Amino acid sequence: MSTPEDAERGAREEAERRRAAGGYAGVGSQGPLDESIVHGAPSRELLAQWAVIEIDTDEILYSTRKGGAPITFLKRILVRLLRQYFVELEARQTRFNIALLERLDALEKKQ
């Protein structure tokens, strides 16, 4: 009977053996989400990306109610009706974000 401790050791050895025989081609430790996860402070590049506020409403508007499709549809209509307001809101926030980033860059250069 193998114990969990034996099985953990055995799994490493078997993976190595199979790799040596050409198995597990392309299998490593990475996953598709790795790059989307932010460890620590976001990079300058990522901040520049986030600075531009542009919201895809189709992606974020939904309802968890039973038969929520008409509610989702209504939410989308409301956002569309208020589009001028939201575009202006996004633009003003983006303006501030970009100006702030430039200011930060200038401060960093001074140091």
- Report the interface residues with another protein, using CB under 8 A: 1-4, 7-8, 10-12, 14-15, 18-19, 23-24, 27-29, 31-33, 36-40, 42, 50, 59-60, 62, 64-66
C-alpha span between 74 and 87 (Å, rounded): 19
Complex with another protein: residue 67 or 109, whichever CB lies closer:
67
Q: Give the residue with the Cβ less far from another protein, 13 or 84.
A: 13
| Least CB distance to another protein at residue 36 (A) | 4
Q: Which is nearer to another protein, 67 or 106 (CB)?
A: 67
Shortest distance in whole angstroms from residue 111 CB to another protein: 26
Nearer to another protein, 36 or 111 (CB): 36
* Euclidean distance between CA atoms 99 and 85, whole angstroms: 21
Q: How far apart are CA 61 and CA 70, in angstroms?
A: 12
Residues 6+ positions from 38 with CB-CB distance below 8 Å? 46
CA distances (Å), 13 to each of 18, 20, 30, 72, in order? Answer: 9, 11, 20, 52
Cβ of residue 39: shortest distance to another protein, in angstroms?
A: 6
